[in-house]
Structure 1
Amino acid sequence: MTQGIYLKLFVPEQLRLHGNLLYEWVLKQAEAIGIPGGSAVRALASFGRDGRLHEQHFFELAGELPIILEFFASDETLNQLLALLAAENQSLFYIKFNAEAGQIKPK
């Protein structure tokens, strides 16, 4: 088992940075600084500080739902990723907490 930090970022799905979707840019930066893996998952529904419910509809063209990025790494490495986002003037909500990672293997 490995001790580390779990980071969850909430990124607007249509937000772009340097010509790329922001969530794609974040995943590339995470890989470049040595984070061993990350995932991007699109929310089905959400609400936030504005109190409005956002839901996916079949004919919805403009994406208002967040992409949720998840990482597990050392606190130092994840702070480096957050600093990269801050340097790009990005305002994003995140959750960060201590976690334990392991793997179950067949005998």
Structure 2
Amino acid sequence: MNFIESELLRIFVGEQEKLHHRPLYELLVSEALERGMAGATVFRGLLSFGLRHKVHTSKIFELAGELPMVIEIVDITEKIEEFLPVVEALLRDSGAQSLVTREAVRQWTT
């Protein structure tokens, strides 16, 4: 097996965040696909809290719409760098509260 040094771009947004009447997490994945990124996955958080220290959980019906969506996108550093302005524009235009992280990863190939 071989590996490619890559990066993981992780974006946290609320599941109710929208732009142009579409969920923000869907737009982010669509943009990643359109730009030929190596891969993207969306996870729905079951329990979380953020800056305001308010707990969000899927166990309480009223708060179900406030759960975090975590979008993970993997590619080489250069492609992540090229994609960041797209992410920044979508987050800015949506007005969403968000968190964006990056970390080094290895993509295994055969």
Gaps of 5+ in 1: none
Gaps of 5+ in 2: none
Identity among equivalent positions (%) equals 30
Query: In structure 2, what is the equivalent of residue 25 of structure 1?
Result: 27
Q: CA deviation at 1:73?
A: 0.4
Cα deviation per residue 1:56-87 (whole Å; 9 max; x = unaligned)? 12634751111001111022222332211322
Aligned mate of 1:95, from 94, 97, 101 = 101
- In 2: Cα distance, 1:10 partner to 1:56 partner: 17
Deviates more, 1:71-80 or 1:39-48: 71-80
Matched pairs, number: 104
Q: CA deviation at 1:93?
A: 0.6
1:39/1:60 Cα in 2 relative to 1: closer, same or farther (>3 Å)? same
Query: In structure 2, what is the equivalent of residue 46 of structure 1?
Result: 48
TM (norm. structure 2) is 0.83
What is the root-mean-square deviation of aligned Cα atoms in Å?
1.9
Write out aligned runs for 1:44-83 (5 A). Answer: 44-57=46-59, 59-60=61-62, 63-83=65-85
Q: What amino acid is aligned across from residue 76 of structure 2 in structure 1?
A: S
Q: What amino acid is aligned across from residue 72 of structure 2 in structure 1?
A: E
Q: Matched residue of 1:99: which SS?
A: strand
TM (norm. structure 1) is 0.85
Aligned mate of 1:7, from 6, 9, 22 = 9
